[in-house]
Structure 1
Amino acid sequence: MTLKDKRVIIIGGSTGIGLATAKAAIEQGASVVIAGRSLEKLEKAKAEINSDALQVIQVDNKNEEALKAFFEKVGHFDHLFTPGAAYVLGPISADSDIAESSFNGKFWPQYYAAKHAVPYISQSGSIVLMSGAAGQRPIPGAASYAACNGAIESLGKALAIELAPVRVNVVAPGTIRTEKERTEAYEAYKGMCLLKRVGDVEDVAHSVVYLMTNRYTTGSTLFPDGGYVLS
């Protein structure tokens, strides 16, 4: 159960969890395509990984037609991971652009990525969507964000049924330490999860690789959150 000789697509792979997953997949012998909106970030990631097994392609994952063209260009592959997202949090009283940003920046990009991946994905392959632990344990002032994460988890189950034997799963991280410094949020999270620490991108990448390689797991949501949803 490895990714050796498999082709992996990561939309949102130039930084953070996506980049860590790209590194882990290449270490297992996969060829990887990372995609994202920023060509500068993609080129930086390419230089950091420095491997002939990596290809970078610029794509706007909020644009359905761009996603369709992307998969036409990529062609056949084995596994898809879709961590790329951009959104703004706000309470129920927030303006509509804030309220809708989670769905426009996180749900629909993954929905349409899965839609346009279908003609090209191996029947023994998989799709890993990304939600977040707030879908099960919401945070104050972020109702639409919590709802969006819950919707992604339901989408994963629905697609697991619709696309079988292609496996579809969801990874739902808690707060993860990235290159963005969020000291206050990190300290608060330590007190809200059982393991009393913030996760690293490698923790989530390990979970994603498991979901790609375990041939008997589908329709599941995995929570690399340090026990946040239980505490």
Structure 2
Amino acid sequence: MEFKLRVSRVLVTGGGSGIGKAIAKALLDEGCYVCICGRNLEKLEKVKEEFGNDRLSCMQWDVRDVSLIWEKINEAASLCGGYLDGLVNNAGVYVSHHNWKPWNETEEEWDAVWDTNLKGPMFLLRKFATYLNNNHIKGNIFCVSSIESRNYNIQGSYQGSKYAFSEMVRSHAKKVLNLGIVINGICPGIVASSLNDYNAGDPTKSCALGRILSPEEIAACALFLMSDAATICCGEMLDASGGFYAAF
């Protein structure tokens, strides 16, 4: 089945590695203009050099700094040829919970996780939707959460922030669909990425699929939800975990 993307000029947060990088590559392969952003400009420039694609640009920005959102949206729009019609709201951070004792989290760790995983992405989602509406653009916002948002035994900042993010994405999506703005997302399982420290573990215990997932597999799901094949999806947070909880 062939499908057509609903986006052509896309800002990807956390695009310097892992899932963000893979989604950026998939979008480029489909002919999109893409601007990746993150805290480490050197890492972003290495991705640009690696991909060797003139439709890729990079921009330094820590999403925790919500005061810069409008400036960075406009900068990314300029880098992508004048406007944006897509956002991949992917930036996230994971802090190891001291041998799974989250009650030992420091205040600094807690704030870093919640500001990166929830505060920054939610203000970005709202202002990007406003940007689209103000410019009469029918666009797409795609959000990356975590399968841990399905774990209701919330003990630490990572699980809590991802649970809140997923729920807020669902509620916000219903408010803007009638404006032609489609918001969906994904809850990846254990992915080969620098974000987490699961990779050294036994993959047969991670999920029913019996292996660690690849960023490219998550990117394939992302493209589906940003395409016209998913027009009936609104506020959906797709579990893409290889049967993570089924393995326990």
Q: TM-score by structure 1 length?
A: 0.89
Matched with 2:112 is 101
Q: Distance in 2 between matches of 1:74 and 1:185?
A: 33
8 Å CA contact 2:7, 2:139 repeated in 1: no
Match of residue 175, structure 2, among 162, 175, 182: 162
Q: Distance in 1 between matches of 2:216 and 2:192?
A: 10
1:10, CA displacement in angstroms?
A: 0.3
Matched with 1:206 is 220
Report how many aligned residue pairs link the two structures.
229
The one of the two structures with greater contact order (alpha-carbon pairs below 8 A, sep at least 6) is: 2
8 Å CA contact 1:79, 1:126 repeated in 2: yes
Q: Distance in 2 between matches of 1:167 and 1:13?
A: 21
1:94, CA displacement in angstroms?
A: 2.7
Percent identity, aligned pairs only, is 24
TM-aligned CA distance change 1:186 to 1:168, over 3 Å: farther
Q: Distance in 2 between matches of 1:4 and 1:153?
A: 22
Match of residue 85, structure 1, among 74, 89, 92: 92
TM-aligned CA distance change 1:186 to 1:138, over 3 Å: farther
8 Å CA contact 2:94, 2:195 repeated in 1: no
Match of residue 145, structure 1, among 146, 155, 158: 158
8 Å CA contact 1:204, 1:224 repeated in 2: yes
TM-aligned CA distance change 1:201 to 1:28, over 3 Å: same
Unaligned runs of 5+ residues in structure 1 are none
Q: Distance in 2 between matches of 1:101 and 1:216?
A: 35
TM-aligned CA distance change 1:139 to 1:20, over 3 Å: farther
1:123-142 per-residue CA deviation (whole Å, 9 max, x = no partner) reads 432111111111113688x5
Question: For 1:199, what is the secondary structure of its paired residue?
Answer: coil
Question: 2:138 matched to 1:127?
Answer: no
Q: Distance in 2 between matches of 1:47 and 1:56?
A: 11
Question: 2:234 matched to 1:226?
Answer: no
> Normalized per residue, which structure has more strand?
1
1:131-161 per-residue CA deviation (whole Å, 9 max, x = no partner) reads 1111113688x52221111111111111111
Q: Distance in 2 between matches of 1:186 and 1:170?
A: 27
Matched with 1:36 is 38
TM-aligned CA distance change 1:24 to 1:16, over 3 Å: same
1:64-88 per-residue CA deviation (whole Å, 9 max, x = no partner) reads 1122210122333121112112342
Q: Which amino acid aligns with 2:167?
A: S
Q: Which amino acid aligns with 1:178?
A: S
Q: Distance in 2 between matches of 1:24 and 1:72?
A: 23
8 Å CA contact 1:59, 1:67 repeated in 2: no
Q: TM-score by structure 2 length?
A: 0.84
Q: Which amino acid aligns with 1:115?
A: R
1:32-51 per-residue CA deviation (whole Å, 9 max, x = no partner) reads 11111111011101001111
CA RMSD of aligned residues (A): 2.3
